[in-house]
Amino acid sequence: MRRPFIAGNWKMNTTRAEGVALATELAKAAESITKCDIAVCPPAVYVDAVGAAIRGSKVGLGAQNMYHEPSGAFTGEISAAMLVDLGCRYVILGHSERRHVFHETDADINKKVHAALKAGLTPIVCVGELLAEREAGTTRHVVETQCNGSLAGVTAEQLAGLVIAYEPVWAIGTGKVATPAQAEDVHRDLRAWIASRFDAATAEKVRIQYGGSVKASNAPELLSQPNIDGALVGGASLKAADFLGIVAGV
């Protein structure tokens, strides 16, 4: 049985004080959460402070991005080891904003996936189609191509431990959520892709989150789909009550 996993991607939001307050509230509430894993991914500059606020709690710590090189002259970048040093367990890689605003390619993301795994981080690898791609009927091809590129060279054992987030780009931050059937179709295809590229046992283990305008009201139906193993939450992760409302839907 895959344990559901709900992660909050705070993106470029909150002040330090707001982030710490939100994390503190979640850490307290998490004491009574038993049915799923939860994590927060604050902006990199607040990872340390937020990590201190959730230390010893059931809330996991993640980052939103990293660079693949271990150290050196890479001005402005952050390594996997630095994230581990601050207590991170997860790192979001290949988020649609990284792909589309910062032009990260599958090859870039693949290097980051290998560096994260090597450092002992659990990557949350994001894939998802643009609206035009969905309308052209190429969703399956797009997400499989992203998986082939982003996950190249990953072993079955490594894959079993990582997290894939399916986030249709047209549903991110738009309020337009994929229907549970639309999301489940892609999640089922992704699991079939894993089974064909690796094996059925590995496919059964990989957690596949859905992301894109998830909120408390639509979470229960999405999360009840057989191949949806949790959610990657943007906007609704910025208020404890909203995020906990989603967690309650597991």
DSSP type of residue 44: G
DSSP type of residue 67: B
- Examine residue 151 and tell whether it contacts ligand PGA (CB under 6 A): no
Rounded to an integer, what distance in angstroms lies between the CA atom of residue 94 and that of residue 105? 8
Residues 163-222 that bind ligand PGA (CB under 6 A): 167, 172-173, 211-214
Shortest reach from residue 97's CB to ligand PGA, in Å: 7
Single residue of 9, 65, 79, 139 touching ligand PGA by CB under 6 A: 9
State which residue, 70 or 173, has the beta carbon closest to ligand PGA: 173
Among residues 95, 104, 133, 187, which one is catalytic? 95
Instruction: Kindly report the backbone phi and psi dihedral angles of residue 154, in degrees, each rounded to the nearest multiple of 5, phi listed first.
Output: -80, 140
Extract the tokens encoding 59: 């809330």
State which residue, 101 or 181, has the beta carbon closest to ligand PGA: 101
Among residues 97, 129, 133, 167, which one is catalytic? 167
State which residue, 88 or 236, has the beta carbon closest to ligand PGA: 236
167 is catalytic: yes
Rounded to an integer, what distance in angstroms lies between the CA atom of residue 76 and that of residue 68? 13
114 is catalytic: no
Rounded to an integer, what distance in angstroms lies between the CA atom of residue 244 and that of residue 249? 9
Torsion of CA 34, 40, 46, 47, to 10 degrees: 80
Beta bridge partners of 39: 7, 60
Other beta carbons within 10 angstroms of residue 60's beta carbon come to 19
Shortest reach from residue 56's CB to ligand PGA, in Å: 26
Shortest reach from residue 23's CB to ligand PGA, in Å: 18
State which residue, 203 or 219, has the beta carbon closest to ligand PGA: 219
Question: Given 3-state DSSP classes, what are the helix, strand and coil percentages for the chain, each rounded to the nearest 5?
Answer: 50, 15, 35
State which residue, 163 or 203, has the beta carbon closest to ligand PGA: 163
Other beta carbons within 10 angstroms of residue 195's beta carbon come to 15
Single residue of 229, 235, 240, 249 touching ligand PGA by CB under 6 A: 235
Burial class (CB in 10 A: 0-12, 13-18, 19+), 101: exposed
Kindly list the residues in this chain that would bind ligand PGA in the complex (CB under 6 A).
9, 167, 172-173, 211-214, 232-236
Catalytic residues: 95, 167
